[in-house]
Structures are given as structure tokens and as C-alpha cells.
A and B are shown apart, each in its own frame.
Chain A
């Protein structure tokens, strides 16, 4: 079995996982008091209007019938119609997805680029000042909620110093005319970068701290191995040993953590987007729940579940790339 076949097999295994996600979510939202029609029409709507709307959105049917109908539609690629926005759920997802992906990509780039060198330096200079600093720093990082970091950043850099925008996210694809003070595409890109700084730090700090910790301990473990002693005894430079003999081996646990952090970052995105007023998937979820927009809740949850499956799959495939002992060939 090649790695491609393995990937396809894993994707097929995602089907029961997602089926589980849909059934639990479907039950939960139907167990919530109230229904979307009431939210949509408000408290003053007449009985007839409510009855008509209930029929229109198919909410008069029993739950199991609605569930099966929903599954059939999803299998055909139709996630239904958002009651609140009045547009197809897929359209809404596609509109919000790039925003969240940009935020996640930016946060993870930040996290990885800071954490890996910091972890390595920390391991190399074990128990010395640099290491102590990085350990305290990452301990604070993993124990601070990201919305709090976001709020502090806004107060300091957005309000008092007034150097960074704290409201919304400028997408690099936004029309030039829509971005305040922008005369060219370059200006838009600069605005994007500026608006990304604080949300990136707010969302990425936790991942950065978690990755630093695992990078440090993983590096320490590898540096204690016999093959490192052997490399030293054969006269390799310390820098060569770090870069070539130890680095790759130490990245396996790090990759696992990055994969897991990806899923926790989706949760973090909900809070970060709320704090910074960013219209991404996170806020869409909040909005969907607040308006009891059944189809939208289902759609976003399903999508988050799918991201989770993809995340773990990518981690497993990366194992095979990094470690020759891991092979999915011959696996059935």
C-alpha cells in the first residue's frame, strides 16, 4: 500500500467519524430550547406566520426524518440553507473560510518559527539562563488564555500606543477601494500584515509555548542518545550534530503536538475572532448558535470535524516522510 492509498483509506475512515459528529450535533441543537423560526420572526409574530415558516423550513417533520434528509443532502454536497442569512451554508462557509485559514496559517507560522529555535537553544543551553527564561516564558504562554492576551494587546498597542489596528482583518484580496487609506495592492498587503499582528500573537502564543516545551524535551532526549555520543566521538562539530544528526529525529513528537494544536487552535480562533471583530469561521459559529441557525451550526461543526481528520492525517503522513522506520506500505 503506497502512502497515497493509505491517505485515501484514512479519508474513508473519516466518514464514520463525521457521521458521529453530525448525529451528536443534530441531537444537541434539537435539544436546545426554542427554535430558529422564533428567533427569526421575533416575539411579536403571529401563530399563522410561525406555522407557515415552520413548514417552509421543514421543521414540522419528526427529528429522525429531518436527520436522514439532511444526511442525503450532505452526501450530495448540499449543506442546506442558512435560515438567518438566507443564503446556502456552503456559500457562507466559503466566504468565511479564507479569513480563518489566513489567521491560522499566520499563527502557526509565528508559533513554529519562534518555538523551534527557542526549544533547540533551550535544550542546548540546558539549565542556563537562556533555558530558564524560555521555560518560564513558555509556561506563562501555555497558561494564559488567548482572549486575555488579545485584550491586553488591544489595550496596549491598539488604544494607548495606537500603532496597530485592533478591529477586523483586512484580507489581501480585498478590493483596493474598500480598504481605508489604500491606493494600491501593496497598501492592502501592508494593511493585512498590520491587522494580522495582534490576532496572530493572541492565537499563536499558546501553540508557540506548547511547541517550545515539546521541542526542548524532545531535543534533550535525542541529544542524550548513543548515536549523538558517537557523532561527537567521530569529531563532528556541535552545530552539525544539532542541525543534521539530532534535529530530524527530534521532530516526531513536535509534529504530533502541532497536529493536535491545530484542533485546539480552531477553538482559539472562535475567541480570537470575537475579541478582534474578525468575520471568520469562529464568529460564524457563535452567530449560528446565537440565532439557532440549525443548518449553519451543522455545516460549521461538520467542517471543523473534517479539519480535525485532515490534521491528524497530515501528521501521520509526515511521520513516514521524517522517519524511515514508519512506512504504510504493506499495511492493510
Chain B
């Protein structure tokens, strides 16, 4: 695995302009993807994972727009703005930022590909699987029809579809979910991109098929030396496949670490809560602990640390100040976290008063009230 950086995301901000105000779906995230690396992007629904990946592809649909930050990919500026906004306060794209046309012809498909969540929905029902694969190859690799077809059949074989020639001419509805996801992987790999964005690609599959697909991806990733951004909410998948992980909460990255570090040296209460809410083969517990409450709306995020409303460790300081992502590791392995409990912050967390988070003991309160009422 080489050490040079393929994708660099710095302070990326994407917002949706709605009638109620701007929803900051991605609010200043930074992370890197190195060549040949699988980087996880983890979080609950609505954390901004998919908007983040759409921003990297520059495929954010109106009313969404990228309003700040910088994304550099293999020396190309995907997102980059001038320091000063224009008269109306809108960000001004820098000259070196790729045009929409350059994004389409030089980046999408050629250099970056995606695998989407739902294999049932991701293939066009009116064309054969082979036609769709061949079309993508012809568009991005400039091959004559015959060679494109040969490559398409080879790719189908590569992702483990039996009788690839025969199935080339079949329609998506004649494939099972797992087989369709294999086809989508073939599509993503066929153009030999350097980065594949996998947006919850195994969520819609059952567990045995999920395992097969994960093995297939690991295999192919090594052979093609492709980098992946793996978007998921499933920590088991993260443990299985990722090299490094970014945990997102409400549009921000709250913890960033190599996968083993993240699981054993967890630095952020949110990550801890995620880990406690799923069964782990390496730890036996009496009962799983769910994360209390629901994620607040991104249109009106809580003050201070955005997780403080649901955090069992929250103190006064968390409500008043917002922690940024800081190096909190042992100094050997890079490990960043955004929580005042760590020394790196020196924000007076331990002297601060604990706050009632409201949601966490809501059930207890209810019980107490009932008891009082019955007495």
C-alpha cells in the first residue's frame, strides 16, 4: 500500500436552501483517502454521509449546493473557492476548480465510480445487463464495440457471475439481488477508476450474500489497488473491510482513526454509543444499550457539541462550546476526536457540571412519576 494521498477533503460544507432556512447537511468535514485504502464513513441516517459523497462527485442536486471547503483529487481541484465571497455572499469558484463538463468527462466514471445501496433500483430495467455494462465501458474507455463487449463479459466473470456470456444478454429482473450487486461492482471496476464510492452497497442484501460481496470487494480491491470510500451505518461491515474510519454525526466528523484503534481505543462517546448498540463477537454483554433519542434536525443543530443532547457524558461545557476535531491519540497512531473529555482540549470538562440530557433518563423519570402518582 502506497502512502500518497489520492483524495483530500478539507472543511467541506454543503447546504440545502429550504424555505425554513439553510440546512447544513455537511458542515466542515475533513478527511483523506490514500491510494489503495478503504476508508469508512459511518453514521446514522441523516448524518450527511451520502451528501458528503455526492459533494465529492459534485452531484449535489438543487436545492443543495457546496458552499465551502476544498476537495483535491489526484492533483485536480474538485472543489475550491476564492477567499472572498461575491457581493451577495456566495462563494466564488477558483479558476483551477474543474468545470461541470470536465467533471463529467474526466472524473466521473473515468476516475471515480459509485456503487449504490439498492441493487434492485440501480440497474435500468429496460436494458440488458450486458448493454448497460458495455455502454459504461464504451463511454469511459474509448474501446470499439467488440472489445467493449469482450471486456464486459470478462468483468462479469471477474465478479463471479457464472455463465457470463449467457447472462450478458439477460435483463436485471432475471438476476438476484446479490448478482445484481456483483454487476454493479463490475460496472464500477470496469473503467478502472482510482476511487470507488460505495454508498451502503450491502445494506439491502441478506447477511450471507453480504459476506460474499465483502469478500469479493476485498479481493478485487487488492488486485486492482483501487481506493474506496465505504459509506455505511453498519460497524460490523466497517470492522470487516475498512482500513481507516470516519464517524459522522449531524454533518460533522466526530472521530477519525484506523479501524482497530477505533474499536479498542474509542475516543468519542458517540462512537462508543454506536459500538454499545450492536452485538460484538469479542464482547459479551447482558443487554445492548441503544442510543437514546433521535438525531436532531440539521436545520437547527444543538449548541456546543452537537451530540450533547444525547450524550451520557455531557457537561455544561459541552453545551456552551463546540469541540473541533483534534489529535487525541497516544502520539503513535493518528487518532482524532472531537470531545472535551480529552486532555488535548483543556476546556475544563472535568470541572464542569454534568447536565441532565433529558432523553437518557426519560424512562426512569416516567417510572418515578408513575410511582409518585400511585402513592
Contacts and interface: CB of A to CB of B under 8 A. Distances in A.
Contacts of B117: 226
A330 interface: no
B121 A235 contact: no
B126 A236 contact: no
Given A226-B116, A323-B126, A324-B126, A234 B139 contact: yes
A227 interface: yes
A323 B109 contact: no
Nearest to B190: A234
Interface residues of A, number: 19
A231 B107 CA distance: 13
Residue among B104, B112, B123 with max Cβ neighbours from chain A (10 Å): B104
Contacts of A324: 125-126, 128, 171, 173
Interface string B98-121: 000000110111101110111001
A139 B124 CA distance: 32
Contacts of A325: 125, 171, 173
A109 interface: no
A234 B116 CA distance: 12
B280 to A, nearest CB: 32
Interface in B169-190: 171, 173, 184, 187
Nearest to A227: B124
Contacts, number: 64
Given A227-B121, A230-B122, A324-B125, A235 B171 contact: no
Contact of B108 (A227, A234, A322): A234
Nearest to A240: B139
B122 A227 contact: yes
Given A229-B59, A236-B109, A325-B125, 5 more contacts: A232-B59, A232-B108, A233-B112, A249-B124, A323-B125
Interface of B: 57, 59, 104-105, 107-110, 112-114, 116-118, 121-126, 128, 136, 139-140, 171, 173, 184, 187, 191
Interface of A: 225-227, 229-237, 245, 248-249, 322-325
25 contacts: A225-B121, A226-B116, A226-B117, A227-B121, A227-B124, A229-B59, A230-B116, A230-B122, A233-B109, A234-B187, A234-B191, A235-B104, A235-B108, A235-B139, A236-B109, A236-B139, A249-B124, A249-B125, A249-B126, A324-B125, A324-B126, A324-B128, A324-B173, A325-B171, A325-B173
